[in-house]
Amino acid sequence: MKKSGILNRHLSGALARLGHTDLVMVCDAGLPIPEGPLVVDLAFRAGVPSFAEVLEGILDELEVEGAVAATEVREANPAASALLDRLFPASAPPAPGGPGLELVPHEELKTRTRQARLVVRTGEARPFANVLLRCGVPF
């Protein structure tokens, strides 16, 4: 039995199958999920688990070279916006230890979600708590 890291067998296994440039959407409970990607639904109750705790847990285990979120997060969800800024600092080139964050209109983010290999649905009940991660390599 695993003693640390992500214990959910479905999520842990799905992360292990990802490769360079694969896309992973970590989303709130309300994002429409298109047909196609594997979905690991962690939502239990409104707010549980939170977007922050799921995203931070995934980033502990996944090498990420890029991230995309909705422009609307800036005004509609200051807490998620601050989290994304902390985890994906803006710089060119990306800062050591993390990629920069690209912002696009929410409708475009939903369109890009169709290309995701994995969608991880959280119980987050605040708007625009969504980020599309592009997998990197650790070498």
Query: Could you give the CA distance from residue 87 to residue 101 in angstroms, rounded to a whole number?
Result: 9
For 20-64, write each residue's pLDDT tens digit.
Answer: 999 999 999 999 999 999 999 999 999 999 999 999 999 999 999
Which CATH number is correct for 20-135, 3.40.640.10, 3.40.50.300, 3.40.50.620, 3.40.1650.10? 3.40.1650.10
Query: Could you give the CA distance from residue 26 to residue 11 in angstroms, rounded to a whole number?
Result: 12
CB neighbourhood size of 128 (10 A): 25
Domain ranges of the chain: 20-135
For 3-12, write each residue's pLDDT tens digit.
Answer: 999 999 999 9
For 8-25, write each residue's pLDDT tens digit.
Answer: 999 999 999 999 999 999
Rg, Å, the chain Cα set: 14
**Residue 135, H or E segment:** strand 131-135
Instruction: Give yes or no for residue 103 having a pLDDT over 60.
Output: yes
Annotated active-site residue 10? The verdict is no
129 labeled part of a ligand binding site: yes
22 labeled part of a ligand binding site: no
Query: Could you give the CA distance from residue 120 to residue 51 in angstroms, rounded to a whole number?
Result: 10
DSSP 35: S
85 labeled part of a ligand binding site: no
Catalytic-role residue among 9, 17, 20, 86: 20
130 labeled part of a ligand binding site: yes
Phi, psi of 63 (to 5 degrees): -80, 125
Instruction: Give yes or no for residue 95 having a pLDDT over 70.
Output: no
